[in-house]
Each structure stands twice: as C-alpha cells, then as structure tokens.
Structure 1
Amino acid sequence: MSSAGVEQLNPDSVSTTVMETVNGSHLFTIKGYSLAKGMSAGKYIQSDVFSVGGYDWAIYFYPDGKNPEDNPTYVSLFIALASDSSDIRALFELTLIDQSGKGHHKVHSHFDRALEGGPYTLKYKGSMWGYKRFLRRTALETSDFLKDDCLIVSCTVGVVKARVEGPKHYGIVLPPSNMGQGLKDLLDSEVGCDIAFQVGDETYKAHKLILAARSPVFRAQFYGPIGNNNVDRIVIEDVEPSIFKAMLSFIYTDVLPDVHEITGSTSASSFTNMIQHLLAIADLYDLGRLKILCEVFLCEKLNVDNVATTLALAEQHQFLQLRAFCLKFVASPSNLRGVMKSEGFKHLNESCPSLLSELLNTVAAADKSLTSGQSNKKRSVNSVLGCDTNARQVRRRT
C-alpha cells in the first residue's frame, strides 16, 4: 500500500506492536580453575540459576571442552535455558573478563550488530547457545583472563518480547510534577524550619532534614558522628547572601535558580559572575547536580571577558571538564589577544601562574594543527603571552 493510501485510511481503532528485549546480566566467578582441569570432555562447571525476562538461565563452563574431539585443546562456554519452556527467542553476550584492568575482554555478542538470522531460538529446557571452541586452553592459561587461579565470566541475556500499544480509553491527564515548587513554597513560608543561617546581614531559615537529604556536607554536619543536631543557628562567612540564597533555592527545587530574580540585575556579566560563585559553593557543599548545571551554563556563556576568571575557578576547584573547555577556547587564535587584554587575565596570572605553561602548550598545539611552520608559530605565541617556554615572564623589547 502506498503512503498516500495510508494517509487516506480512517480506521475505527489502531494498535502498535513493539518488539523489544528485556535484558539482564549475571557475573559468574570460577575459583580454583586448575582443580577443574582433567574433568574430561563434556564435564562442566555450572553457575547458579538466574532469571531474565521471566525465564531461568545458567552458564556452563567446560574446562576440557564440550566435545571429545576438542579435548583438551579448547575450553567451551555456553548459556543454557533452565526453565521448562520452549521456543524462547533471545540475544546473548558471553564475556571472559580481563583481570589486568586493561579492559581487553574476550567478548562474543549478539548485541550492537546486525543479525542476519534474527535472535537465537531455544527450543526446550537445556537448549544452549555458546562456543565449543571458545578459547585455546594454552592461551587462556597464559593470559590476563586467569588471575590467582580464578576466571570471571559475564553473561548478558536479552529475551525478545512483543508489547502491544493500543489507544487509552480514559481521559485522565497526568499533571507535571510540582514537588520542587511545593518544597520551595515550604522554604519561603519558613513553616517547620529548624535551622537559621546568618550570612552577612541576612538570615535564611531552612529544614535540616531536607538539607541533609541533598548535601553530604550538611548530612555530616547535622547527623554525622561528630555532627550536632541540636544546633539552631550557623554563621556563614566568605559567602555573599545572594549566593547562599541561590544555593538554598536549588536544594529545594533541583533546578538552577533564577539568578536575575535573586540579584535584581539584568547584567549578563553579573549573572555569569554569580554563577561562578554558585559553582564554588556547590563544590563546597558537594551538590553534584548544581555543579554540572553551573559548568554547562559557564561553557555556554564563555567569552573573552570571562574565560580567564572561569579558568581560574576551574583550576582552583579542579573542575576538569570546564578547565579543558576554557583552555580550548583561549587557544583559538581569534580569542587569544582579547583574553590577554581582559581584567580577568590579570587575576588568572596572579592566582594561577602555573597555568600559563599549560596555556602556552595548548595554544602551541592549536597553532601546530593549523600550520606546518611550528617553530615560527611558537615564537609568535610566546611573544603574545610574554613568556618563554617555561612560562616565565620576560621583558618585552622596546
């Protein structure tokens, strides 16, 4: 039927069948591998039974091979259906774990590749999928798969299921979550608050349990072994009141606060500055999501005027992704001179002088990718930065 014909259909009802897999995995450890050798071909070591997709499965390892003709050249590895069921279609992955930590696992997988014949069908209980010649035993025994006479096998099963989607016969509309707004209203009303923070000339009240649920630092401060749950007032130093207020707003709502509303300013530079300070306090109180939100915002708003201060912040607090993004931004030939003229660069030079060497290397690497005249370019970069190759400041000739 043509697409035009489909568009003209006006059915009384519709439905959709979705083919998908229900996935699960099992880790099987074999200790004392050397004691299993000599069992003879066809003898196996079995994992515990595990369930995936409503069916039971088990891993079978044959230290002397599954078939006599392979004995004892190869080890065999299989996954078997352990349920009393038939015609189960599934995808499989068998992995022999590299225990050196290098990640060079031996993987045989149906997943993430085209299946010419479709999923594998297991006809009855005891049906198997796997490899009679999974690995030569001599190769296994001299590899990083075997450590302290121990092997580790990972198995993933994806059971194929069909799910029918039909029209909903009810008109109930699911409203969006408003839990964050409810908690924010609780904070603003100060109902049930049991802790007050003195921040400069401002006082902010909050709830210890909510703070502890959101921040490991507050949890330790109020409920840890050396914490004090009886404290009802805390003085916060070296933090602007608006910054602390913004952090409290995030703790209760889980979204980046409207900093314009908190500060009353519409200046983009003051907005960025506040996000920088908010990132620092998020690090102080270990608010992981807030840190990521602030880093994303700063990356999006990066320019020649704020990149130096942002880079200094990233260096001091070890925000590695933000740091790398800032270095890449500065390394752009179109940005470098503008950054050098900014007030933030003076701050960067004073607060993080060790960064100049890395900045020089980043710029030089960018130049190298753009031109084959590497040595001449590096000298031009040095003159722009006013540094020698060890990032020591040198006096320009006049």
Structure 2
Amino acid sequence: MTNGATSPVTAATLKVEHSPLLSPTSSQSVTETVNGFHRFVIQGYSLAKGMGIGKHIVSDNFTVGGYRWAIYFYPDGKNPEDSSTYVSVFIALASEGTDVRALFELTLMDQSGKGKHKVHSHFDRSLESGPYTLKYRGSMWGYKRFFRRALLETSDYLKDDCLIINCTVGVVVSAIDCSRLHSIQVPVSDIGAHFGMLLENMEGSDITFDVAGEKFRSHKLVLAARSPVFRTEIFDGVDEQKKEMVITDLEPRVFKALLHFIYRDTLSEDAESVESSSASLSSVSETLIAKLLAAADRYCLERLKLMCESRLCKNISVNSVAKILALADEYHATELKAVCLRFAAENLAGIIGSLFMC
C-alpha cells in the first residue's frame, strides 16, 4: 500500500461516522455540593471562659459528603496576636482526606426569638473565591475574631449560660451524570397511607380490642404480619375464631399509638411531641413515648422501639440520664442504653453535682 492511500475499511468507517442516521452521544458533568448540618450547643459558657488562649471545646464528629467534621470553639480566642478579646470558631476536617474542597457556614443563634442570627457564610462568597480546600486531617476553616467577647456576654446570643452554633458544610463533588438527561421520577412509598386509611375506616376489620373499656377494631392479618407476639396470640391460641381480646397492660392512648405505628409505620403526632421541660423529665417514665417503648418491647416491634429510643435520646441531660438509662435497661433498648452510658461517662461531674442538689 502506498503512503497516503486509504484502505476500504477506513473509508467505510469514515463514511459511517458522518452518516446522518446516527444519533450523537452526550454526557453531562455535574459539580455540586453535598450539604450537611450540625448544631453545637455549648452549655456552661461562664465555666468554659478563662480556660486559656488556644484552649478549645470541640463538638462530636459528624459526617458530610463521606468525611467527618468537628466544630472547635475557643472561648478565650485561638491565639493572642489576633483574637485575645474575641471568641474564635472553626470547622475542622476530622477524618483522613487530601484536598477536600468545601463551603462552610457558621451561625451564632439569636436566642431572643428575634431571628437576628450572626452568620459567617462561605456559601455567599463562593462565586468570588471558590470553595476552600482542606489539605489534611485537622485542617480548619473559620474565624479567629468570630465575636467580641464583651459584646457576646451581654447579647441575646448568650441565654441561660448557653450558646448555640449551627454549622453547615457543603462538600464539593463532581460526577458524570446521565440520569438527569433521561430520568423517570419514582414517588416515595405510600403504602403507609393506604394501610392508615384501612385503620381509619375499619373496612374488613375482624377483631376488637378492649383496652380499659375503650374499643379498638383491627385486622388480624395486619397485626400478625407486623408483630410475632400478635401472631401467636391471635392464631396460635385455643380459639382462632375469637373476635375480641382484652388488653390489661396498656393504656388506651398507648394502644392507639401502637396501632398507628403498626398500620402507618410512623409515630403518631402525640408520640412525636415529647416535651423537653424539666417538669416532664422528672416523670419521664410516665410520658407517652416511654410507655410506647415498653409496648414496642412487649410486642417485639424493633423499628418502633428504635423510634422511641431516638426520641428519648433527645431528652438526655444530667438531670434525666439516670431515669432514661433505667428505662433503656428495663425494655432492652440497647441503642439508647449505649448513648446514656456514653453521656454519663462524659458528664460524670455534672451528674454527681445534680444528685447532691436533689
């Protein structure tokens, strides 16, 4: 073959490549942020103040974009040159990583209800400066002069010796995305809504529960499918044709919330609204969510038990941890028990002090 000659195969290939019958292919590169939020509550600010320049209080680690992060609060400033009269706040990369690009927002919350929060946002300046790059574990972004200490201590940001710092992290990720070019959106499951309607209209109900004189109609198959205990009590008993059962160990409101979960797979509104006042914490075992935890354990509803544990976990404090730990131990709530023990270990001095004050 002479130089410059074209083989029949190459000619055919070139002809096909320019054929108008072929559709062009395409791809799309999408760069966006994976965002996450963490609230850091600093209780006992007056005790932390004076710990020394460069000394810090650190939040628990939280995960955003596949990386762990932590908030560092310096009540006496990060260093004497720039911030000895200021409090300093930083967000730090707490896991291994190199050249992690991210945007940040640190907000000091106004606790007066006026909504005049102090916001330092990297998101607002991202078009000008671009994301910040953290090179290694321990790299930080933040403000040495976050807020002048004298002003902070007379402001609405400090209430009952407590500060609240909200932190938003947006980790920058890039990917080739074909789904956005040709996508079909699938709605979230609505099976709970359909079963919830079944509970409300009672169509086809075949069993009635008597709970302290209050009647609840239900469906044997639904109960048996959700709870092995109900399945045994309904179908493995002497009389499988029984139409009514008496419940003696639950209050009507607790049994109603139990049925709500069994049919809808969610907590009822009453169970969701757990109070966090000191009055309610003094009698935590009498709250609906605590009694629902007991019912979940009684009927082997593990998902409901975890939901109750999650709600009770939000009410753990030095005053309530002992009572909540007792509940967790009694009703085999292993996740809640582990959280209580960890909290007790980290706040032992405060718990001992609260016992002497009682």
TM-score (norm 2): 0.47
Q: Which has the larger radius of gyration?
A: 1
TM-score (norm 1): 0.42
